[in-house]
Amino acid sequence: MTTPLSASAASQARPVLDPAARMGPVVLAVRDLAAMERFYRTVLGLYPLARAADGVALGTPDGAPLVVLQARPAFAPAGRRAPGLFHTAFLLPGRADLGRFIRHMAEAGHRIGGASDHLVSEALYFDDPEGNGIEVYRDRDRADWPRSADGIAMATEPLDLQAVLATGDAAGGRWTGVPDGTTIGHVHLKVADLDPTLAFYRDRLGFDLMATYPGAWFVAAGGYHHHLGLNVWASRGGARAPETLGLLAATVLLPAGDAALRARLGAPSPTAPVEAVDPAGNRLVFLDGSLGADDALALAA
């Protein structure tokens, strides 16, 4: 993957998202709330932060919400070709944390779907019990991200599992849950068509196009390798049906407020949450960066 920086005249007047923007909690509609909460607590190691009769917000020990599970037992499973969530990517603070997590998965016998070295990051992949994709990864230092003539270079190569495990073992300790500092590093979405999707994320919302790959584009703010992945690998030409399980919303945190974005999207005030729906029907909510667990839980209402 390489960064296409030659957008030329097409990008000369486009908006630019606040470089401090980052991904916030992901909101999922789930069929079996108890089973899904158990998975995210015992396998992934999230902590319950706020609860309602039909939902729970889970996150880090210091109270940062990462996932909101909302019970929707009457919803139907999304079709394979339907746009929606490809995976939620949980970014750990360092390589030792990833090593501890991999050992935890191995010792507990949890099945993984893949493990990759993306040059900018190292990642593990698996699914939750209802088929929502999950990535757990760590970033390399930005100074070590490889560059091509066009910008940041990424690839999909086999992960050196033994080296990552050795880093975790050398640091000591065992996996007892996500550490403070864990965030939603990026969210990868299934979309129906790349061209209108790029027009939405880059030319309307202000994300930068960071990399391309056959059937997928990657966009971000502030020079990150990607905050959102957008692919048509199984969903080209597909459509989202109402009241289906899976992604209810991906959120973006705007620490500086980004009044310009809110104005573009018609927010009633410079600090009000504002929503946008991409051409494939994926819902994004832009929020203040100080989002608490109760506010996160309210996103599912």
Q: Is residue 43 part of a domain?
A: yes
- 24 by DSSP, 3-state: which? strand
| pLDDT bracket for residue 265 (50, 70, 90) | confident
User: Can you read off the two tokens belonging to residue 80?
Assistant: 């394979």
Q: Is residue 33 part of a domain?
A: no
Q: Is residue 32 part of a domain?
A: no
User: Tell me, what's the pLDDT at 6?
Assistant: 42
Question: Are residues 277 and 38 in contact, defined by beta-carbon separation less than 8 angstroms?
Answer: no
Biggest CA-to-CA distance, the chain: 54
User: Tell me, what's the pLDDT at 10?
Assistant: 46
Q: What is the DSSP string of 121-186?
A: EEEEEEE-TTS-EEEEEEEPPGGGS-EETTEEB---EE--HHHHHHHHHHH-----SPPTT-EEEE
Query: How would you classify the pairing of strands 228-231 and 183-190?
Result: parallel
Q: Is residue 164 part of a domain?
A: yes
CATH number of the domain within which 150 lies: 3.10.180.10
Q: Is residue 55 part of a domain?
A: yes
Specify the pTM.
Answer: 0.94
Count up the domains in the chain and report the number: 1
Question: Are residues 79 and 241 in contact, defined by beta-carbon separation less than 8 angstroms?
Answer: yes
Q: Is residue 237 part of a domain?
A: yes
Q: Is residue 250 part of a domain?
A: yes
pLDDT tens readout for residues 183-204? 999 999 999 999 999 999 999 9
Pick from 76-80, 86-90, 177-181: least confident: 76-80
Containing structural domain, residue 191: 8-21+38-298
pLDDT tens readout for residues 116-138? 999 999 999 999 999 999 999 99
